[in-house]
Amino acid sequence: MRPQPLGTSRVTRTPYLLVAPLTVVLIVFFGIPLVLVVVVSFFDLDKFDIIPTFVLTNYAEVFGSSLTYALYAKTITYALIVWAITLVIGFTVSYFLVFHVRSVLVQMALFLLCTVPFWTSNVIRMISWIPFLGRHGLFNQSLIAVGITDHPLEFLLFSNFSVVIAYVHLFSLFMIVPIFNSMARIDRAVIEAAVDGGASRARVITEIVIPLSKTGIALGSIFVIALVMGDFFVVKIMSGGQSSSVVAAMSNEIAILQYPPAAANAVCLLIIVMLMVAAIMRLVDVRRELSG
């Protein structure tokens, strides 16, 4: 855009003045804290006091413990399973809304129906699974009533299963919204041309819909993977203490004021998440999608 010619100094200054508040808030509450976490990861610890110095003992502890590798393996496994499930849900739901719902009004209404839970409390949505999946929960009772089983299934709650269910429940919206967004922008003429040219439904999906919604898929994948990798509360509550994650372990360290080891752990986690995000961004130019 060409702003109105007002005198060059003003024209060039305007965007900087407009973006300054955002930049300041992000630097103060995101940039500086991030740097501090990195700095503290090299500090020493004397019982509960942080000693400003430069040591590598925190990292030595992180890499020296077999628990670390088990935690990362567990967390990454959760992330990949949840990513795969939310991807299937996100793609299918968006595909239905975009290509099968004819009225725009109905489409918007159904889309909103999917997004409303996003604006309510995550903790409440998570604990709402407990009466549902428990030993005497609704699900077990209906299974017994229908006669599928005669004793309640134990693996439903406080297990890997319930952790994954809660993740999918909380985070699938982050996959649906970006995929829906990019799918809705696909030009229908392209698809009609393909159909007229004799393309099957499957070929339309694999050769038109998937490539043209890949930025949405990438963005949704970044959100879901980052959210699962950074979670601590779902795994704490829904596994009933039987499973853990990197950040859950970290939150235990923080609770007993072991900041330097927690910070070293945080730095390792951030590097891994950044590598995963960078890998996705390499495949797809996400920025073009976001800034229009």
Partner 1 sequence: MTARSSNGRPWTFYALAAFFTLFVLFLYGPMSAIFILSFQGPTGGLTFPMNGVSLHWFKALVVQQRSGDFVGSFSRSIVLAIIVLAITVVISIMAGLAFRYRFRGATAVFYMAIASLIMPGLLLGLGVGLMFQFAHVSPAWFSSALGAQLTWTLPFGLLIMFAVFSRFNRAYEEAARDLGASPWQTLRLVVLPILLPGIIGVALFGFTLSYDEFPRTLIPIGSRNTLPLEIWAMTTDVTSPALYALGTLTTAVSFVVIAVALTSIAVIQRRRARRQRDRTPGPLGDA
Residues of this chain, 152-211, that bind partner 1 according to CB under 8 A: 169, 172, 181, 188, 191-192, 195, 201, 204
Using CB under 8 A as the binding rule, whether residue 55 contacts partner 1 is answered as: no
Of 214 and 232, nearer to partner 1 (C-beta) is 232
Q: State the nearest-atom distance from the C-beta of 214 to partner 1, in Å.
A: 18
Q: State the nearest-atom distance from the C-beta of 90 to partner 1, in Å.
A: 10
Compute CA distances 112 → 87, 152, 181, whole Å.
Answer: 19, 35, 13
Of 89 and 153, nearer to partner 1 (C-beta) is 89
Pick the binder of partner 1 from 42, 129, 158, 167 (CB under 8 A). Answer: 129
Of 1 and 148, nearer to partner 1 (C-beta) is 1
Strand, coil or helix: 42: coil
Using CB under 8 A as the binding rule, whether residue 76 contacts partner 1 is answered as: no
Per rule CB under 8 A, count of chain residues that contact partner 1:
95
Using CB under 8 A as the binding rule, whether residue 31 contacts partner 1 is answered as: yes
Q: Which of 212, 198, 230 minimizes the C-alpha distance to 91?
A: 212
Using CB under 8 A as the binding rule, whether residue 143 contacts partner 1 is answered as: no
Using CB under 8 A as the binding rule, whether residue 136 contacts partner 1 is answered as: yes
Alpha helices in the chain (DSSP H): 8-26, 32-40, 57-64, 66-95, 104-115, 122-127, 130-133, 138-146, 160-184, 188-196, 201-204, 210-212, 214-229, 233-238, 246-255, 259-283, 286-290
Using CB under 8 A as the binding rule, whether residue 15 contacts partner 1 is answered as: yes
Q: Which of 33, 35, 55 minimizes the C-alpha distance to 46?
A: 55
Q: Are 133 and 162 in contact (CB under 8 A)?
A: yes
- Partners of 213 in the beta sheet? none
Of 56 and 190, nearer to partner 1 (C-beta) is 190
Residues 240, 185: Cα–Cα separation, whole Å: 43
Span 228-287, contacts to partner 1 by CB under 8 A:
229-233, 237, 247, 250-251, 254, 259, 262-263, 266, 269-270, 273, 277, 287
